[in-house]
């Protein structure tokens, strides 16, 4: 499946617009794959950023997978105009990642 932030795909033409699709993922920014950091790790800036980055990457991949699954359910083979929004929940360590785009059917220009 082709995923792009642009509204078109070079070498392809959009045959049919299927609809807007979204992939949403959320979790605590202090955990990665269900494993919480230790108390000692909370005071290590390097480990904090490493865990934060790994957790964010995992959440993003999960959201993209949900986006692709939703597009496949509409019989689309591409998603164009993708927008990624990363928001923290107020007064919480939870992040929400929302990825939205337009599911389309594309064919090569040949």
Does the predicted model carry a pTM greater than 0.85? no
How does DSSP assign 51-82, residue by residue? HHHHHHHHHHHHHHHHHHHHHHHTT-SEEEEE
Determine the Cα–Cα distance for residues 2 and 78; give it in Å rounded to an integer: 4
Q: For the domain with range 2-108, which CATH number is right: 3.40.50.150, 3.30.110.70, 3.30.1370.100, 3.90.480.20? A: 3.30.110.70
pLDDT digits (tens, 9 = 90+) for 20-74: 999 999 886 545 455 555 556 556 677 767 777 777 888 999 999 999 999 999 9
Determine the average pLDDT of the residues in 4-21: 96
> Which CA distances in Å does 57 have to 4, 31, 37, 45?
18, 12, 16, 18
Position with higher pLDDT, 53 vs 107: 107
Query: Quick one: pLDDT band at residue 12, thresholds 50, 70, 90?
Result: very high
Determine the Cα–Cα distance for residues 20 and 42; give it in Å rounded to an integer: 40
């Amino acid at each position: 499946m082709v995923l792009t932030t642009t509204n078109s795909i070079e070498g392809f033409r959009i045959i049919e617009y299927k609809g807007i699709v979204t992939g949403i993922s959320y979790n605590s920014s202090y955990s990665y794959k269900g494993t919480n950091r230790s108390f000692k790790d909370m005071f290590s800036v390097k480990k904090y950023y490493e865990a934060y980055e790994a957790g964010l990457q995992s959440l993003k991949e999960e959201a993209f997978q949900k986006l692709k699954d939703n597009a496949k359910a509409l019989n689309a083979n591409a998603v164009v105009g993708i927008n990624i929004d990363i928001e923290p929940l107020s007064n919480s360590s939870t992040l929400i990642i929302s990825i939205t785009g337009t599911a389309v059917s594309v064919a090569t220009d040949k």
